[in-house]
Chains A and B, each alone.
Chain A
Amino acid sequence: MVRLTIDEQVIEVADGTRLFDACTQVRGEALPHFCYHPDLSIAGVCRLCQVEIEGAPKLTIACNTVVKDGMVVRTGSPRVQAAVTSILEMHLINHPVDCPICDQAGECGLQDQYMVYGLYESDVAKRDKVHKRKAEPIGPYVILDQERCVLCSRCVRFCAEITKTGELGILQRGDRAEIAVAPGRVLDNAYSLNTVDICPVGALTSRDFRFQKRVWLLRSTPSVCPGCATGCNVRVDHEGGRVWRLRPRRNDEVNGPWMCDHGRMEYKHLHAADRLTQPLVRREGVLQPVEWREAWAELERLVRPGGVALALAGPHQTIEELLLFRRLGELLGGPEAVYGGVVGTDRGEGDALLIDGDRAPNRAALGWLGLREAPADELAARLGPGRMAVVYGGDPAALSPRLASALAGGEFIYLGTRRGATAEAAAVALPLSMWAEKDGLLANRQGRLQALRAAIARPGTAREDWRVLAEWLGRLGAPPPPTTLAALRREVAAALELPPGIDLNALPATGFVARSGADAPAAGGR
């Protein structure tokens, strides 16, 4: 441990701690900075995190200083204040100050720090400003405004150190220096939008989010990306019933501060034109929108306990939902009728950083709950004329022609979110919720339980999945299903044989590793 004094406060920190971080600890907020980023190498170029260290003749940047025993540091002395103010002004002299049309406005380092350290009147003559290129697309997702850039080099370091793809560099020198894509390249790595997140100003903005919403109107809900088995922690930024963007939320056990571009686009599915927004019932061969009451009546007419040949779930459903669905499936068709999904679906290419080849967010839980995935042929063999099936989620009919024709050959109830091939072939289709419209738990590839949280309202008369499943169980006269999500989660904890004291309603910020993702099915398994 090292003892040092920062702003008259004596603190002890671990050996090797960066002075920058020690200052944050004492001040409760970070020193002014643009180039420092805890997950990237030290550049030391913005020069804003200057502090006064007793005995040092010059001011020192805290980001490139390691604490030493007995150090006496001042972060707010008049000398430091004067330096920070002037350095901030240097950052701004050639800045276009086009905040009214800049998407970064409201979450901009220049704006924030100007409010704290600036508030001077500008001494720059307009004609003295250096002009550079604006609105240059540099990749499928990212657009670059050279004038707004403060050359902190975070984006360059990200591409060099995190993705190791090296698309970006700084060309030219002096005030002609500019961020540039290497000749013949585009910024098209699978993580390019992280450069937009770490850009402290409006130089790099998202082509997807640009000009969509002022950020101060957005509300942010912490959740988990449903795009693959990694389960990157995200913030769902929403307003007016729509999600406008996803951003990564730091979880050093899962995704650090990053997420992939593919995951960021997951929100688009929420607002797809083919969402199921009302219950549908087939009448005279045509699916017709109905009230829930009518849908339930039709469903009860068609499905009898014990009369279901296949109850098919999928790895996109939450753990709570899968637990209830298993119970429902066993009641309707017996344990052998219940399946966890179609083998070989939702697979893609993975990488060494975050993207998992398993594109489903909760496959680990299928095993835990003993929900077996089976080949399409095996599932199809259970179907046929006069047989009844219940298909929960996904679009299995679109995955396999064999399964599609088998489903069409019999009758089935579909519970889902979109009017895909499966919904179109169903006798009854019940509209449920997508991941940003409901609360629920997912188990990622590490076996880590993480929580989805409802951010926006469900479309139309769509309902929360677990309530629909619970209602169906209730209608069947099963043992009373839980009436609250909290109670349902207590049943999940019991089913997964979690150690007592784990409250699934209040998971730690980093989630909770229930068991290794590769673990053989145990709890509730057959």
Chain B
Amino acid sequence: MTRDDCRILSARFGRSDGHRLAVYEAEGGYTALRRALKEMTPLAVREEVKTAGLRGRGGAGFPTGVKWGFVPAEAQTVYFMVNADESEPGTFKDRWIMDYDPHAMIEGSIIASYAVRAGLCFIYIRGEFGWLVDRVQTAVDEAYRAGYLGRNILGSGFDLEMIVHKGAGAYICGEETGLINSIEGRKGQPSIKPPFPAVQGFLKQPTIVNNVETIAAVPPILREGAAAYRRFGTEKSPGTKLWSVSGPVRRPGVHEIPLGLPFREFFAQDLGGMADGEELKAVIVGGSSVPILTADEILACNLDYESLAAAGTMLGSGGMIVIPRRCDMVELIQVLMHFYWDESCGQCTPCREGTGWLHRIVRRLRAGEGTIADLDLLDKVCNGMMGLTICPLSDAAVMPMRSFLTKFRNEFAALARRPEESGPRSRWARTTNEVIG
């Protein structure tokens, strides 16, 4: 099997005409929709996707077919939403789908809407992706004209309206309840769960939110069948995955490979290794929110959910940041901590206060004004942020912070002033005790 055989999602990437309906149809587009609407019940579609083992590509990796099954059977009004708020640092795969192959996402969305019995579908596109809103809207218009959207689609009796919605540019709106609040016109911030969106989401009705890449994988699964999809990948990580690779490698960009491929092989073959004069130091494998792996760690890993979990990190969104030896890790974490501090919605206290505190401590260290005690303080602040909030943004800040600190502690320590240089810390309680006796 060559790499080209795996190009399920990326077949039209890089082509100037791949986004056109005619091209998409000529290459088998919308046959999966035809099959779903004419030959399958919504339940059968859900089962097919479940059997294929497709897992959410937005970061959590939850089985898509199972998620669709959470919509209560008695639900009357169901909504489907495509999460195209791709904002995880290092992640830029969804935008390639929308740019080069918008109909794959649209066809997948129609099939998914049918599977969950939704009559209205939103595509929520990150505010900074202005040009993609136009591109996707043009494709949606084409789909309407071709009868793939609207009333009685392909004579099946299934109706679906599709709305392209442009966000205002907030990372947190990529969290599904934040996305729903944003579409409802509220402040984009996550809601407490329960209730979960599949039971009570948009306008308090059952709502399914799926990532762009997840949805783009649905037409190939229905076209070729679940078994064909499972030819790729591993038992627990079936199929292919897009990796958006940044950093000084020879061939950065978006690469599609079967899950389970050893990183070593991906790195050498697909990425072409490091650029001239660069040396691999570390890799953030699944978007900025996952724990970093050192060169040794990643070189021993396969690129699938279970191997990466075993290595103490996560596959996440597949936003791979390759870090060269010359990179200052404290500078890098400062950039990331600034990001999470900036993007925290501010609802939950541990995240609101913790992200800012982490950022300020790191900034102080880099300014040469930190002490060695600040390293322990960073660790302590992380402890107070992990697993205690409504959504995972707080954890997402902690995971890189903690792993950077653990694996590159010497770089942090080198920036700290030596303890004897630091002035006495304010210890009023102790002082008071001494005075009082």
Spell out A's residues near B (CB within 8 Å): 42-48, 50, 58-59, 61, 64, 82-83, 86-87, 89-91, 93-94, 121-125, 128, 130, 150-151, 169-170, 172-177
Nearest-neighbour CB distance to chain B for A50, whole angstroms, equals 7
Across the two chains, which residue of chain B brings its CB closest to A90? B353
Question: Across the interface, do A170 and B346 meet the contact criterion of CB distance under 8 Å?
Answer: yes
Question: Across the interface, do B360 and A91 meet the contact criterion of CB distance under 8 Å?
Answer: no
Contact A170/B388 with A47-B348, A128-B364, A151-B349 known, Cβ cut-off 8 Å: no
Nearest-neighbour CB distance to chain A for B258, whole angstroms, equals 31
Across the two chains, which residue of chain A brings its CB closest to B356? A175
Which residues 343-393 of B sit at the A interface, judged by CB distance below 8 A? 343-350, 352-357, 360-361, 364, 377, 380, 383-385, 387-390
Cα(A46)–Cα(B352), bound, Å = 10
Which residues 91-130 of B sit at the A interface, judged by CB distance below 8 A? none
* B326 within 8 A of partner (CB): no
Cα(A365)–Cα(B342), bound, Å = 62
* B341 within 8 A of partner (CB): yes
- Of B341, B383, B390, which is within 8 A of A174 by CB? B341
30 pairs, CB–CB < 8 Å, chain A vs chain B: A43-B192, A43-B347, A45-B390, A47-B350, A64-B192, A82-B383, A83-B388, A86-B350, A86-B383, A89-B384, A90-B385, A91-B349, A93-B353, A121-B428, A121-B430, A124-B357, A128-B357, A128-B360, A130-B356, A150-B349, A170-B346, A173-B189, A173-B346, A174-B341, A174-B343, A174-B344, A174-B346, A174-B356, A177-B345, A177-B347
Q: Mark B314-349, 1 if CB is under 8 A from A, else 0.
A: 000000000000000000000000000111111111
Q: Which residues of B contact A173 (CB under 8 A)?
A: 170, 172, 189, 343-346
Across the two chains, which residue of chain A brings its CB closest to B352? A175
* B435 within 8 A of partner (CB): no
Across the two chains, which residue of chain B brings its CB closest to A63? B192
Cα(A61)–Cα(B194), bound, Å = 11
Cα(A260)–Cα(B45), bound, Å = 58
* B429 within 8 A of partner (CB): yes
Of B172, B346, B380, B427, most buried by chain A (CB within 10 Å of CB) is: B346
Which residues 416-437 of B sit at the A interface, judged by CB distance below 8 A? 426-430
Nearest-neighbour CB distance to chain A for B73, whole angstroms, equals 22
Question: Across the interface, do B427 and A44 meet the contact criterion of CB distance under 8 Å?
Answer: no
Q: Which residues of A contact B427 (CB under 8 A)?
A: 121
Nearest-neighbour CB distance to chain A for B244, whole angstroms, equals 26
Question: Across the interface, do A175 and B344 meet the contact criterion of CB distance under 8 Å?
Answer: yes
* B187 within 8 A of partner (CB): yes
Question: Across the interface, do B361 and A177 meet the contact criterion of CB distance under 8 Å?
Answer: no
Q: Which residues of B contact A175 (CB under 8 A)?
A: 341, 344, 346, 352-353, 355-356
Nearest-neighbour CB distance to chain B for A335, whole angstroms, equals 62
Across the two chains, which residue of chain B brings its CB closest to A91? B349
Nearest-neighbour CB distance to chain A for B380, whole angstroms, equals 7
Question: Across the interface, do A177 and B352 meet the contact criterion of CB distance under 8 Å?
Answer: yes
Question: Across the interface, do B355 and A174 meet the contact criterion of CB distance under 8 Å?
Answer: yes
Contact A45/B347 with A123-B380, A128-B357, A174-B341 known, Cβ cut-off 8 Å: yes
Question: Across the interface, do A151 and B346 meet the contact criterion of CB distance under 8 Å?
Answer: yes
Question: Across the interface, do A47 and B355 meet the contact criterion of CB distance under 8 Å?
Answer: no
Nearest-neighbour CB distance to chain A for B422, whole angstroms, equals 11
The 9 closest A-B pairs by CB, nearest first: A86-B384, A177-B346, A44-B192, A175-B356, A174-B344, A90-B353, A173-B346, A45-B347, A128-B360
Question: Across the interface, do A47 and B387 meet the contact criterion of CB distance under 8 Å?
Answer: no
Q: Which residues of A contact B377 (CB under 8 A)?
A: 123
Cα(A89)–Cα(B387), bound, Å = 16
Give the A-B contact count at a CB cut-off of 8 A. Answer: 102
- Of A48, A82, A83, A174, which is within 8 A of B345 by CB? A174
Contact A44/B350 with A86-B383, A121-B427, A170-B187 known, Cβ cut-off 8 Å: no
Nearest-neighbour CB distance to chain B for A115, whole angstroms, equals 13
Contact A87/B194 with A50-B388, A128-B364, A175-B341 known, Cβ cut-off 8 Å: no
Cα(A219)–Cα(B169), bound, Å = 53
Q: Which residues of A contact B350 (CB under 8 A)?
A: 47, 86-87, 90
Cα(A123)–Cα(B350), bound, Å = 15
Of B170, B342, B345, B383, most buried by chain A (CB within 10 Å of CB) is: B345
Cα(A335)–Cα(B380), bound, Å = 80
Q: Which residues of A contact B360 (CB under 8 A)?
A: 128
The interface size of chain B toward A, counting residues with CB under 8 Å, comes to 39
Nearest-neighbour CB distance to chain B for A374, whole angstroms, equals 55
Q: Which residues of A contact B383 (CB under 8 A)?
A: 82, 86
Q: Which residues of B contact A48 (CB under 8 A)?
A: 349
Question: Across the interface, do B194 and A64 meet the contact criterion of CB distance under 8 Å?
Answer: yes
Q: Which residues of A contact B170 (CB under 8 A)?
A: 173
Cα(A174)–Cα(B343), bound, Å = 7
Across the two chains, which residue of chain A brings its CB closest to B194? A64
Q: Which residues of A contact B389 (CB under 8 A)?
A: 47
Q: Which residues of B contact A90 (CB under 8 A)?
A: 349-350, 352-354, 357, 384-385
Q: Which residues of B contact A169 (CB under 8 A)?
A: 187
Q: Which residues of A contact B387 (CB under 8 A)?
A: 58-59
Nearest-neighbour CB distance to chain A for B350, whole angstroms, equals 5
Across the two chains, which residue of chain B brings its CB closest to A178? B346
Across the two chains, which residue of chain A brings its CB closest to B429? A121
Nearest-neighbour CB distance to chain A for B185, whole angstroms, equals 13
Q: Which residues of B contact A89 (CB under 8 A)?
A: 384
Further contacts, 19 of them, CB under 8 A, given A86-B383, A89-B384: A43-B192, A45-B348, A47-B388, A48-B349, A50-B388, A61-B192, A86-B350, A90-B357, A91-B349, A93-B357, A94-B353, A124-B357, A125-B364, A128-B357, A174-B342, A174-B356, A175-B353, A175-B355, A177-B345
- Of B353, B364, B390, which is within 8 A of A91 by CB? B353
Nearest-neighbour CB distance to chain A for B231, whole angstroms, equals 34
Question: Across the interface, do B352 and A174 meet the contact criterion of CB distance under 8 Å?
Answer: yes
Q: Which residues of B contact A128 (CB under 8 A)?
A: 357, 360-361, 364
Cα(A151)–Cα(B345), bound, Å = 12
Cα(A123)–Cα(B373), bound, Å = 10
Q: Which residues of A contact B342 (CB under 8 A)?
A: 174
Question: Across the interface, do A87 and B349 meet the contact criterion of CB distance under 8 Å?
Answer: yes
Question: Across the interface, do B346 and A172 meet the contact criterion of CB distance under 8 Å?
Answer: yes
Which residues 165-202 of B sit at the A interface, judged by CB distance below 8 A? 170, 172, 187, 189, 192, 194
Cα(A245)–Cα(B96), bound, Å = 64
- Of B341, B346, B349, B426, which is within 8 A of A47 by CB? B349
Cα(A121)–Cα(B349), bound, Å = 20
Across the two chains, which residue of chain A brings its CB closest to B388? A47
Cα(A466)–Cα(B354), bound, Å = 62
Cα(A44)–Cα(B380), bound, Å = 23
Question: Across the interface, do B341 and A44 meet the contact criterion of CB distance under 8 Å?
Answer: no
Cα(A175)–Cα(B345), bound, Å = 8
Q: Which residues of B contact A91 (CB under 8 A)?
A: 349, 353
Q: Which residues of B contact A170 (CB under 8 A)?
A: 187, 346
Nearest-neighbour CB distance to chain B for A132, whole angstroms, equals 12
Across the two chains, which residue of chain B brings its CB closest to A46? B349
Q: Which residues of A contact B353 (CB under 8 A)?
A: 90-91, 93-94, 175
Q: Which residues of A contact B344 (CB under 8 A)?
A: 173-175
- Of B192, B346, B390, which is within 8 A of A176 by CB? B346
Cα(A48)–Cα(B349), bound, Å = 9
Nearest-neighbour CB distance to chain A for B170, whole angstroms, equals 8
Cα(A517)–Cα(B426), bound, Å = 64
Cα(A281)–Cα(B342), bound, Å = 74
Q: Which residues of B contact A125 (CB under 8 A)?
A: 364
Of B350, B353, B390, B430, most buried by chain A (CB within 10 Å of CB) is: B353
Cα(A89)–Cα(B429), bound, Å = 16
Q: Which residues of B contact A150 (CB under 8 A)?
A: 349
Of A58, A124, A169, most buried by chain B (CB within 10 Å of CB) is: A124
Cα(A124)–Cα(B390), bound, Å = 25
Cα(A42)–Cα(B426), bound, Å = 39
Nearest-neighbour CB distance to chain A for B412, whole angstroms, equals 17
Q: Which residues of A contact B380 (CB under 8 A)?
A: 86, 123
Q: Which residues of B contact A122 (CB under 8 A)?
A: 426
Q: Which residues of B contact A50 (CB under 8 A)?
A: 388
Q: Which residues of A contact B390 (CB under 8 A)?
A: 44-45
